[in-house]
Amino acid sequence: MSVEQVVAQGAEHIAVHGMDWTTKELFTYPNEFIYWSIQIVMYPYMTGLVAGAFVLSSLYHVFGQKDLKTIARFSLVFSLALLPVAMMPLLLHLQQPLRNMNVMLTPHFTSAIAAFGIVFSTYAAIVLTEIWFVYRVFFVDQVNALKGKEGTRDRFMYYLYLVLTLGAFDTGDAAVAKDKKAVTIMAGIGIPVACFLHGYAGFIFGSVKANALWMSPLIPVIFIMSAIVSGIALCMLTYIIIMEWKKWSAIIAKGKGDETVQLIAGAELDVITKTSRYLLGFMVAAITLELLDLIFRGYTAMKSWDILRSVMYGKDFVNIFVLQYGLGNLVPFLMLLIPGTTIRRVFFATILVLFGVFMMRWNVVIGGQAFSLSFAGYMHYHLPIIPHNLETYKEGLFGALTVIATPFVLFWIINKVTPSLEYKFNNE
Amino acid sequence: MKNHVLRPLWIVLAAIAVFMVVRHFIVPADFGVEEGGNFTYNYHRLSANDDWKNFKVKYRGREYCQECHEENVESILQSPHAIIQCENCHGPAIDHPDNPEALAIDTSRGQCLRCHTYLPYPTSQRSEIPGFEDPEDHNPDENCVDCHNPHNPDLENM
Amino acid sequence: MSCSRRDLLKNTFKTTLAATLPLSAFKMLSPAEVKAYTGDSSIRWVFLVDTRKCVGCGLCVKACKNENEIPWDPPISRTWVERYVLMRNGRAHIDSPMAGRDGFTDSKIRENEIPPDQISKGFFVPKLCNQCEKPTCVQVCPVGATYQTQDGIVLVDRTWCIGCGYCIMACPYGMRFFHPVYKVAEKCTFCYHRIKKGMKTACVQNCPFGARRIGNMKNPNDPVTKLIMNERVAVLKDEYGTKPQVYYIGLDTNVR
């Protein structure tokens, strides 16, 4: 930089990362801002959804939980749709997004983030492989069905499916049996990898010794549990929406009293009741661990407790105790527990659960930066709503909404190739 | 059609191979652990050290000014301001007198008040520097250097 | 029977020892190992801050910002000066307006009048990167863009940093920030470009009161080393185990 530029720097306004959404109270170090904002809230939230969706599907494939059969295939494909989205918040957050490949090129493995590229790719490979095995016979069928058909769309689909078969056209019993076994193995490997993927997202926070709120060996475990909770809840929610939609289209097509309508409704309730039992189980585990962490901090009352307490019981009280624990945990917990499950109640309960897990991520990520490292001051986060530059878009409400919307778009596209809701499988 | 099961694996292995080749070309050749260092703290592009070594020096020090502004240096060295470096008041020399040709002459009161506002801190040397609790009481409408010589502020010489 | 077994054990132990000893001896003598242990430089930069001498003029911050091309207007800075005013009732007022860039020219703290007769002590504490022996910021960098040099300085490779901010989060001292122009992690380098040329850092050179000093810990005759060895010095936040290498004289429990 030339001298003139250095001088000129003084005159023009220069945007400092974090200044747009941080306000300070009392004493904070000059360089302290809320550097990790909404996208870092989204990051563990989205990886959590991926991991949770996958674990749900594996409960069927590995442990043979027959009651999850219908939702299993759906959640497997959905976890594929969520996969790229787990990475998106990080890309939106990076100050140098074009250098993202450096994480894979020169991974510095003493950093929790370094493993991200590798764990993430491994996990992506596992999910893709598993889906391939589940759908291989379907691909072959499609190739056979589309063979010789004219029309651009059909030609395109034909070649797409042709590539997807990877040249494996054998649909004999022996080959199909092999597929099935491979699915089980992939799902089996997938569970620890999914848990690792997310557990280490927790480790990214738990290992930051400079941060009094994050530093805890429980954080990774808490993150895994709440990840599974959110993953299951999202699968249930999406499943309900899709089944309702199908039910309504059946009603419109065939009238309310039709047999298919009853069938769909019955199946839906059955799947949902069974899945919600797993949801409840994981919720208990997650909340127990979170409370343990909270009680432990209060009881040991280390140097940082004074400021932590003032944040938790004071400034962030509504966020933590009303929104997260109350509205996000307790209310849906009771809603699911009360006998006589109805679709509508589960629908609202899963929305609340998803909200609760989101608030938990928020309270960890933003709450961890709500106080100064000096323990003598506070910082407040103001989520940028109207974007007035690239940064306030990327790390603002609209950036977060982009991230939330993407998996649904992806699912819609993927579902065109590997239908996860209607196709009857001959190998299952 | 035997063992179609391993097909995904071949694809993954092929992808890894391609990646390794690409990596070879993108990563700077001197990226690695410094000799005698360890992976935790010394893993980096080795020439990054030189980037920082070649950073431009901007503050040159009083000895440098002395080459051309001998009078000023001598005068300040005799004064109570002997401890203050020239560039603290005139800004960094950088390549002066080539670039910039002349250094700034800042006659503002703020320049002096960063030391000469009195602060009542019993255990700090700050309270021992002659100064004003409220600078507004000491000739507020004029610049300090209108009356005091910054290079020789001794009251005797006023 | 039992006796012979013990003999056997003894012999085994002896032979193992005999076998490993020369091996380890050889290892100890290997020049590469020796080099690895001592590092190939005979320098370990350390810093000594005498808080009793600091008057809060902020000229160090001014010099640092100019020297290291840190934009002037934003409140970020590689080094800063904190003011501590402790009251008789035990309350502490702390501030560092604009990192202390323009000095402390007002006895008010955050618009609050501080009654002078109730002040028990007031002082200034300059802060800069501690160039830790075990820097967590380096440990957590996912791409190897920040690292420790052989002479103990933690630097950032501006061409390789991805700007994830993990190092900023990991530093217990809040030293790091994003450079607004280069969009990468930025931190105090002890003016690496200056100390490598035998100059003092910009802040040391421009401190009129000698509150800041830099030295080489591996040179026992270095005046700074001598002071650190002979005076009662302290470091900031040693509980994080990062082994900070900026030593302070006249630190107070209230300093954070």
Complex ipTM, two decimals?
0.91
Domain presence at residue A45: yes
* Total count of domains within chain A: 1
Condensed to tens digits (0 to 9), the pLDDT of residues A153-202 reads 999 999 999 999 998 998 889 999 999 999 999 999 998 888 888 778 88
Q: How is chain C classified by DSSP, letter by letter?
A: -HHHHHHHHHHHHHHHHHHHHHHHHHHHH-HHHHHHHH-S-S--EEEEEETTT-----HHHHHHHHHTT--SSSS--SSEEEEEEEETTS-EEEE-GGGGTT----S-BTTB---GGGEEEEEEEEE-----SS-HHHHT-SSS-EEE-TTS-EEE-TTT-----HHHHH-TT---EE-TTT-SEE---S-HHHHTTTPPPHHHHH-TT--EEEEETT-TT-HHHHHHHHS--B-S-GGG-----EEEES--TT--
Flag whether A396 is in a domain.
Answer: yes
Q: How confident is the model at residue C27 (pLDDT cuts 50, 70, 90)?
A: very low
Partner-chain contact C172 A209, CB within 8 Å: yes
pLDDT of residue B2: 58
Single-letter residue type at C135: P
Is the Cβ pair B40, A110 closer than 8 Å? yes
Please list, in sequence order, all residues whose beta carbon lies within 8 angstroms of the beta carbon of residue C159, skipping any fewer than 6 positions away.
B45, B48, B51
CATH number of domain containing A135: 1.20.1630.10
- Is A428 a member of any domain? no
The parent domain of residue A86 ranges over: 20-417
Q: Give the SS3 label for residue B100.
A: coil
CB nearest to C119's CB, from B54, B120, B133: B120
> Do C132 and C243 form a contact (C-beta atoms < 8 A)?
yes
* A142 within a domain of the structure (yes/no): yes
| A241-261 tens-digit pLDDT | 878 887 888 888 887 777 878
Each residue's pLDDT tens digit in chain B (158 positions)? Answer: 457 889 999 999 999 999 999 999 999 999 999 888 899 999 999 999 999 999 999 999 999 999 999 999 999 999 999 999 999 999 999 999 998 999 999 999 999 999 999 999 988 899 999 999 888 889 988 999 999 999 999 988 77
Task: Look at residue C184 and tell me whether its pLDDT is greater than 60.
Answer: yes
Indicate whether A11 belongs to any domain: no
Instruction: Tell me the pairing of strands B43-45 and B31-33.
Output: antiparallel
- Chains with 3 or more CB pairs under 8 A to chain B: A, C
Residue in A18, A116, A209 closest to C240 by CB: A209
**Can you tell me the mean pLDDT for C67-95?**
95
pLDDT digits (tens, 9 = 90+) for A3-26: 444 444 444 457 889 998 999 999
Residue A423 covered by a domain: no
**Average pLDDT for residues A345-356, to the nearest whole number?**
96
Please judge whether A30 and C99 are an interchain contact, meaning their C-beta atoms are less than 8 angstroms apart: yes
Considering only CB atoms, which chain A residues are within 8 Å of C94?
Answer: 26-27, 374, 376
Cβ neighbourhood burial of A290 (10 Å; 0-12, 13-18, 19+)? buried
Mean pLDDT across chain A, nearest whole number? 88
Is residue A184 in a domain? yes
Through-space distance between the first and last CA atoms of chain C, rounded to whole angstroms: 67
- Write down the pLDDT at residue B58: 96
- Asked if pLDDT for residue C29 goes beyond 50, the answer is no
CB B44 to CB C59 under 8 A? no
The closest CB to that of B34, out of C124, C150, C192, belongs to: C150
